[in-house]
Amino acid sequence: MAGYVSAHRQGSATLPRRRLTEPALVRWTLIGIALAFLALFLAVPLVMVFSEAFAKGVDAYWAALEDPDALSAIRLTLFVAAIAVPSNLIFGISAGWAIAKFRFPGRNLLITLIDLPFAVSPVISGLVFVLLFGRRGWFGPWLFDHDIKIVFAVPGIVLATIFVSFPFIAREIIPVMEASGTEEEEAARVLGASGLQTFFRVTLPNIKWGLLYGVILCNARAMGEFGAVSVVSGHVRGRTNTMPLHVEILYNEYNFQAAFAVASVLALLALVTLVAKAVIERRLARSLAAHDETAAPESA
């Protein structure tokens, strides 16, 4: 299901000739309706985040970001993403290799299970970790005796974040690995390359854009998660508040402008994600096309 965000080959379709399209009036009416809908649901909210963030001027904006609690929230968010994204990256590559390069029974079920965190309500993603590691959870008493903190501390936040951002990299890599086939790797092996050499010299160059694409999606989800993290955080200021949670706290403190200031940083992050996504999409389409061209004569 997470595969929905799969890169599409943007603009690769040739535009139809004149007689195969609607009259200009119909065309522009449809464009108008589509743009009005998108403006109402996408552009206006985006503009409002920044307008509210700067409602009290630039200095108030910076003051909100330089607040120690805001800084610690930014730090925690970066820290959590710095663990969650590489973990899911390793998993994604491993799952991609096993699923895309080999056939085995239960393959479709495995893919569905990888998708599961995407469909599960974020609240549930947090709840299950409380049920496991909370003081009254399955492992709670043992953890308490050994003085190990998981929920209401950073490890719990990391776990919940890994859970919600789990499918993205794997689901991006699988189709790209499938598309590049196994012939090149097999050739490398026959020529005497080791397994790791094959992976780094042959596979990785083929999947690098898909990989990067998955990393960006995974990172966006990891930094922005609210529901799951909210359940396991404990909301200790300066210690277990991530940026989205800090936004909520400020919002509840009559501090709208500051809430939107921190929110604007997250919105900026979202915009950077979109730009990176668009750029990579184009590279990905190009590299796949190039691969098709070089692959075609070989297989013939």
Partner 1 sequence: MSKSNRVLPGFRITMAFTLLYLGLIVIVPLTTLPVESITMGWTAFHRTLTDPRVVASYKLSLGASFVAAIVNGVFGVLVAWVLVRYPFPGRRVIDALIDLPFALPTAVAGITLTTLYAPNGWLGAPLARHGLKVSFTPLGVTVALIFIGLPFVVRTLQPVIEELDLQVEEAATSLGANRWHITTRIILPYLYPAWITGFALSFARAVGEYGSVVFISGNMPMRTEIAPLLIITKLLQYDYAGATTIAFGLLVISFVLLLAINGLQHWTGRRLAH
Partner 2 sequence: MTFRSSLRVAALAALATAGLASAAQAQTLLNVSYDPTRELYEAVNTAFIKDYAAKTGKTVKIEQSHGGSGGQARAVIDGLDADVVTLALAYDIDAIAKSGLIDPAWQRRLPDNSSPYTSTIVFLVRNGNPKGIKDWNDLIKPGVSVITPNPKTSGGARWAYLAAWEYGKRAGGGKDAAGKDFVAKLYKNVPVLDSGARGSTTTFVQRGIGDVLLSWENEAFLALAETPGKFQIVVPSVSILAEPPVAVVDKNVDHHNTRAIAEAYLKFLYTPEAQEIIAKNHYRPRDPKVLAKYASALPKLTLFTIDDAFGGWQKAQAAHFADGGSFDQIYVPSGR
Binding site for partner 2 (CB under 8 A): 58, 62, 65-66, 71, 74-75, 78-79, 130, 133-137, 140, 144, 147, 149, 151-153, 234-239, 249, 251-254, 256
Binding partner of residue 286 among partner 1, partner 2, none, CB cut-off 5 to 8 Å per kind? none
Nearest residue (CB) to partner 1, 70 versus 247 = 247
Binding partner of residue 291 among partner 1, partner 2, none, CB cut-off 5 to 8 Å per kind? none
Enter the tokens of residue 139. Answer: 């492992």
- Is 256 a residue that touches partner 1 (CB under 8 A)? yes
The torsion defined by the Cα of 102, 103, 106 and 110, in degrees rounded to 10, comes to 30
Contact 253, 51 (CB under 8 A): no
Q: Please identify which residue in 8, 75, 149, 235 interacts with partner 1, judged by CB under 8 A.
A: 8
Enter the tokens of residue 249. Answer: 């706290």
In the region spanning residues 58 to 77, those forming contacts with partner 1, defined by CB under 8 A, are: none
User: How far is residue 126's CA from residue 131's CA, in Å, rounded to a whole number?
Assistant: 9
- Is 55 a residue that touches partner 1 (CB under 8 A)? no
Nearest residue (CB) to partner 1, 236 versus 278 = 278
Burial 217-226 (b: 16+ CB within 10 A, else e): bbbbbbbbbb
Nearest residue (CB) to partner 2, 31 versus 44 = 44
| DSSP states along 56-125 | THHHHHHHHHHSHHHHHHHHHHHHHHHHHHHHHHHHHHHHHHHHHH---TTHHHHHHHHHHHHHS-HHHH
Residue 208: CB minimum distance to partner 1, A: 18
Binding partner of residue 123 among partner 2, partner 1, none, CB cut-off 5 to 8 Å per kind? partner 1
